[in-house]
Structure 1
Amino acid sequence: MSNVTYADFEKIEIHTGKIIRVEDFPKARKPAYKLWIDFGELGIKKSSAQITQRYSKEELRDRLIVAVTNFPPRQIADFRSEVLVLGVVLDDQQVVLLQPDQPVPPGQRIL
């Protein structure tokens, strides 16, 4: 893996968000949810996340998360995923979501 500069890192927009809506995503190739995430001044953005084995829809609602907000959108089946929700991939390929350890407003930039 090659090193990057701080200037490279600054190009990636990572923000806090609050999940406000969760739906099943039966058209996805692998089990996934459709997420609607409030990023404060950045608005509400959508994402698809393969986290159904670890999280229920109820557990995800109102949860703070961390996401990359400036990747190009991806079309996944009939859903446009606009942000990449960040998490730790475990050996069994399940994802544990990253989140702030204290309440913070949605939309805050992470450095």
Structure 2
Amino acid sequence: MVSFDDFIKLDIRVGKIIEVNDFPEARRPAYKLTIDLGPLGIKKSSAQITDLYEKEELLNREVVCVVNFPPKQIAGYISEVLVLGVYTAHGVVLLKPDRDVPLGGKIGYITC
């Protein structure tokens, strides 16, 4: 279990994928993503989402990312943000907002 204070340390933002490339150096099939996070700038990530997504359908797609983890080197590539998705039997389904929101918009929480 984690505390609520631990959860709110995560900086989760909305971005838009502006470039997608194959990542043949990765151990498991993945894409290299370039993501526009508005005022936070352009960031890079790698994502193992080739089971459900073709490169063309990812372009201009909004995604939800954790932006305050330290960069991680994956097969010689620096991943700067963590793209979020849901594991399914068929692959990872990306999270995205269901309404228009600004790029770089911070994901909030609702208290009860």
Question: TM-score, normalised on structure 2?
Answer: 0.93
Read off the aligned partner of 1:46 and give its amino acid letter: K
Seq. identity, %: 61
Whole-angstrom distance in 2 between the partners of 1:32 and 1:40: 24
- 1:40 paired residue number: 38
Matching of residues 26-105 of structure 1 within 5 Å:
26-92=24-90, 94-105=91-102
Between the two proteins, the alignment pairs up a number of residues equal to 108
Q: How many Å apart are 1:104 and its aligned residue?
A: 1.4
Whole-angstrom distance in 1 between the partners of 2:97 and 2:63: 7
Is 1:10 the counterpart of 2:3 in the alignment?
no
Q: Which runs of 5+ in 2 are unaligned?
A: none
Q: How many Å apart are 1:86 and its aligned residue?
A: 0.2
Read off the aligned partner of 1:104 and give its amino acid letter: V
Is 1:108 the counterpart of 2:108 in the alignment?
no
Read off the aligned partner of 1:69 and give its amino acid letter: V
Q: How many Å apart are 1:91 and its aligned residue?
A: 3.1
SS in structure 2 at match of 1:17: strand
Read off the aligned partner of 1:10 and give its amino acid letter: I
Q: Which runs of 5+ in 1 are unaligned?
A: none
Q: How many Å apart are 1:3 and its aligned residue?
A: 4.1
Question: TM-score, normalised on structure 1?
Answer: 0.93
Whole-angstrom distance in 2 between the partners of 1:85 and 1:21: 14
Q: Structure 1 segments of 4 or more deviating over 2 A?
A: none
CA displacement 1:13-55 (0-9 Å, x = unmatched): 0000000000000000000000000000100000000001100
Whole-angstrom distance in 2 between the partners of 1:3 and 1:99: 24
Whole-angstrom distance in 2 between the partners of 1:3 and 1:50: 26
SS in structure 2 at match of 1:105: coil
